[in-house]
Chains A and B, each alone.
Chain A
């Protein structure tokens, strides 16, 4: 599986060619025409809405919102600067990184949108399939191609799936949206079991990849952990098998009821065995030669990815040790915000987009430019957006970490909180979203401020806190160790707490509702009491989620609803 890509290719993502670029320009011209026909009245809003959604343009609570695709979360520095330019020129100087590794701009004008899409196309970017009942952005491990625990790089397969699914004529009008995630590590960092299809790749006996396939997972109003359909899907059958799954879903998914239209409902209704049987029947009947994914095709796609030309310094590790010893704040940041790299002398950096009291996932145009500069200088010009709404610099030399941290610190991006209680995942909520019942951001800000003390966060240890402003669960609250769900109580917002959810790996679980909804301030206080309960009841070395599982929800419920 070795290869030697050209140094001129962008590191970490697929390099477009003339065909890709012509396609994007044609798509922009098509949308320009659609916008003109809408403005002239030739298209009604009902006719235009699905067309704009197919180009990522929503009409939200206050304005149009444009969701730009970041395939498998990877972009290069020039692309990040393009996003900064869009934020500065066409929006209100910031963007919001989403739980699908995309970015949203909240104040876009319809009349500017074709021009924005042109600007994106010039940077090999687009907003295609960031909305609508189609296959959405395929997400991948944020440490792909870098993690020490990785078996193989999933991005090549994410790109193959992107190309297969883009404007796929059979799957453009599915019963409902469809989300795929892929990991190349046995450490599931993509929440594979909470996706319509989750793939975990590993090396097979013949040296080529095989895939573990989960299907029918999801969050939303019916949270379900996906079922394992295959353990050893060969690489050459990847497209054929996914095509078979999608065909069964497309044929039998509920189009009569939006709340029962996701594949998870079909899998549950048929039962896993019957669903598997139908997929296998479709798979057997297919023209397999047509859908075969040959090794040569995989390698041709792989050759379009640039790879970092590592040049570790011999004394990088020693230098890092000395810098950590001399600066405790830096040492704390290294502990929480770096991840072991497969290349000795390097580390992956997770840049926290969750400053104390800040808005999770929001980044200003100046910060985007800084991140692009840091990527150029220290990480081969490559960046990744994580599904936890942070940014990763994948390949930073250990002796450069101190410089990176100092630059981040100066620009409000140096929070040492990755994986802690203030590393909150939150949807935009009722401050922006037309579907939301309650605001997600203010309660996130209050909790972030409440637990801002670094020593307290370290004392609490690893804890995932997720907030959704409605049952659609864009903040993945069911998968949070602590989840918060915003609800509407007779026109006023209120919040339910869920406990015990977990996104990753074999112990994926759905959080359980603790009790009735409370006001925003009551919820913040209740969570503080839940944390106190954990700190007083945990055994040595026991993480929050482990204490929840050992004790059950009862003591936490008592604490949450204790009279003030």
Chain B
């Protein structure tokens, strides 16, 4: 895993993210334990507890169909959690060069298995 994924301050909050194994799509762990496609739905964890939560979730990665579970430090804003690094902001919002490719983008003509 990228070393950048485990960097976070002692203080502050993080959210938990992963990629779905089947389609690679980015998901965020919501308060109800479901994995959602929008960061706005993510549960906030104090940085002091997020490592423990990550351990638990990583142990269930295969049964949940996930890969690459890690924590992302965020700040809280009126529109929801906002990652503190530009890398994670782009990952959460989609490529800046295709504003239409938001995380809830759907293919106009889905692929055979979509």
Contacts and interface: CB of A to CB of B under 8 A. Distances in A.
Given A38-B21, A62-B25, A64-B23, 17 more contacts: A45-B67, A45-B68, A62-B91, A62-B94, A63-B26, A64-B24, A90-B111, A92-B101, A108-B24, A436-B87, A438-B86, A439-B96, A439-B97, A441-B97, A488-B87, A491-B84, A491-B87
A34 to B, nearest CB: 13
A458 to B, nearest CB: 28
B61 to A, nearest CB: 8
A359 B97 CA distance: 8
A492 interface: yes
Nearest to A440: B97
A488 B90 CA distance: 14
Listed from nearest, the 5 A-B pairs whose CB atoms lie closest are: A491-B85, A431-B95, A64-B24, A63-B24, A109-B23
A109 B22 contact: yes
Interface in A36-63: 38-39, 41, 44-45, 59-63
B10 interface: no
A59 B22 CA distance: 11
Contacts of A436: 87
A492 B85 CA distance: 6
Given A112-B111, A491-B87, A63 B23 contact: yes
Given A111-B113, A441-B97, A62 B26 contact: yes
A308 B114 CA distance: 42
A110 B97 contact: no
B111 A442 contact: no
Contacts of A44: 62
A441 B67 CA distance: 27
Given A92-B101, A111-B23, A59 B91 contact: no
A438 B89 CA distance: 12
B19 interface: yes
Nearest to A108: B24
B38 to A, nearest CB: 14
B59 interface: no
30 contacts: A41-B62, A41-B63, A45-B68, A61-B90, A62-B26, A62-B91, A62-B95, A63-B19, A63-B24, A63-B25, A89-B111, A92-B105, A107-B101, A109-B23, A109-B114, A110-B21, A111-B22, A112-B111, A112-B112, A115-B113, A430-B86, A430-B90, A431-B95, A431-B97, A431-B98, A432-B95, A434-B2, A491-B87, A492-B86, A493-B86
Contacts of B109: 88-89
A92 B113 CA distance: 14
B24 A59 contact: yes
A438 B94 CA distance: 14
A364 interface: no
A56 to B, nearest CB: 14
Contacts of B25: 62-63
A439 B61 CA distance: 30
Interface of A: 38-39, 41, 44-45, 59-64, 88-90, 92, 107-112, 115, 359, 430-432, 434-439, 441-442, 445, 488, 491-493
Interface residues of B, number: 32
A491 B86 contact: yes
A355 B28 CA distance: 36
Interface in B54-105: 61-63, 67-68, 84-87, 90-91, 94-98, 101, 105
B79 to A, nearest CB: 20
A441 B62 CA distance: 35
Contact of A110 (B2, B23, B84): B23
Interface string B2-37: 100000000000000001011111100000000000
Nearest to A362: B97
Contacts of A434: 2
Contacts of A110: 21-24
A37 to B, nearest CB: 12
A152 to B, nearest CB: 41
A411 to B, nearest CB: 20
Given A45-B67, A92-B101, A39 B96 contact: no
Nearest to B111: A90
Contacts of A430: 86-87, 90
Contacts of B113: 109, 111-112, 115
Contacts of B23: 63-64, 109-111
Contacts of A63: 19, 23-26
B90 to A, nearest CB: 6
Given A110-B21, A111-B23, A359-B97, A61 B86 contact: no
B67 A59 contact: yes
B47 to A, nearest CB: 15
Contacts of B96: 431, 439, 442
A449 to B, nearest CB: 13
Q: Which of B63, B95, B109 has the most CB of A within 10 A?
A: B95
Contacts of B61: 45
Given A92-B107, A109-B111, A39 B22 contact: yes
A408 to B, nearest CB: 23
A441 B98 CA distance: 11
A488 to B, nearest CB: 8
Contacts of A60: 24
Contact of B90 (A109, A111, A439): A439
Contacts of B114: 109
